[in-house]
Amino acid sequence: MKIKVYPGEPRGGVTPPCSKSMAHRAVFCAAMAEGESVLEGVDMSEDIEATVNVCRAMGADITLTGRRVTVRPFKKEGTVRASCGQSGSTLRFALPAILARGVRGELTGEGRLMKRPMESYRELCLAHGWTYEQRDGLLAAEGSMKAGKYRLDRVVSSQFVSGMMMALGSLREESVIEYGVSPSAPYIKMTAEVIKAFGAFVGFEEGKVRVGGGYKGTKVAVEGDWSQGAFWLAMGKALGRIECHGLDNDSFQGDRYMVWWLERGDNVLDCTDHPDLAPAAAAYGLFTGGVRLTNVGRLADKESDRATGIVRMINDVGGRAERINDEIIIYGGAPRGGRVAVDDHRMAMMAAFMACGSEEGIVIEGAECVAKSYPDFWRHLAALGIKTEVSNEKA
């Protein structure tokens, strides 16, 4: 889909979709629980559908009714074969869940998913004598992960720690996971809160976490998504006036940091714990005198190489940005406008943000990629008074 976003001042209220991070965790925990669970407030996206489909492949009975998801736990023998779509969370949560069930898993993905880092799990499997093979877009793993002591090395994402926490938390006996330091550490705290909602215990010590106790079916309300809300909050402050509804100020989501960052008026964003804020912060910097993104190396391993993409996109539409070592510098100045091609949901949202404050507007090719996390994004943007025009839509 090709869409042109015209310049304009976004004004009004918007309710972002549910927290994708929380929904992933809730579905997996519910699928490993004893008894039925009901998850309220779930907005389906391609990533959440991937998690639902994987859990179904593992034997879970999952029913979708509006924004309600009813989950009955999986009972599966034999090989689990499923696609994780483009969802890194799904892939990294599924593998330990499969191992904790003691079955074989054969997982595939789309886009760049199967090229994203998985070394922590590969080394874990090799250390414990489990099968781990990854080739030609297929990841096959087989083993029997019992309660015990485990160590994760080379942790490039908190998703590895969270995946192990959820899998081992489903077992009655206590396990210890040693992981040292993890980027995006706030999301490990979110995982702990979801695990506790399902009745398991979690205890943190320096560089490690204790989990266990097993899960009981329960009812969970999935909160709004601060990662998506960050675009609206930054856009509203830079270009107009937007009120975000449905976001929990006491949330454990790491990207709630955007509120603090905007209020402080900081012009430096450290991407170590908040990589998904980088596109919104980059666009924001164009209209607020500039911004510097630090520790951007890990942006290369997202749905696209965002470290490269942010710089290229800004320069392509007449702004000015450059990368120097592990930093990206965005210089202030409204972009002229133009045309960009995207295949990454957050980069599409960044382009829309820039278009609102541009001189001529921006044509965004591949705009349908927002369906990965936020299918209603374009509708919500238009509801804020921004003119959008679909000029070429493929069936």
Q: What is the set of active-site residues?
A: 276
List the structure tokens of 264.
């402080």
Angstrom distance (rounded) from CA 330 to CA 339: 19
Residue 115: count other Cβ atoms within 10 Å of its Cβ: 11
Q: What ranges in the chain are assigned the alpha helix state H?
A: 20-31, 46-57, 88-101, 119-127, 158-169, 186-197, 226-239, 257-264, 278-286, 306-316, 345-356, 377-383
DSSP per-residue letters across 8-52: ---EEEE---B-HHHHHHHHHHHHTSBS-EEEESPPP-HHHHHHH
Dihedral (CA of 218, 189, 263, 358) sign: negative
Distance, C-alpha 298 to centroid of its chain: 14
* Helices and strands (DSSP H and E) totals, the chain: 12, 22
Task: Please give the Cα distance from 21 to 23 (Å, whole number).
Answer: 6
Pairwise CA distance, residues 179 & 94, whole Å: 19
Which of 344, 337, 331, 330 has the alpha carbon at shortest distance from 373? 344
Only one residue has tokens 């382009």, namely 351
Cα dist from 229 to 21, 187, 249, whole Å: 13, 16, 12
Residues pairing with 80 in the sheet:
105
How many CA atoms within 13 Å lie on the side-chain side of 282? 39
d(CA 212, CA 338): 53
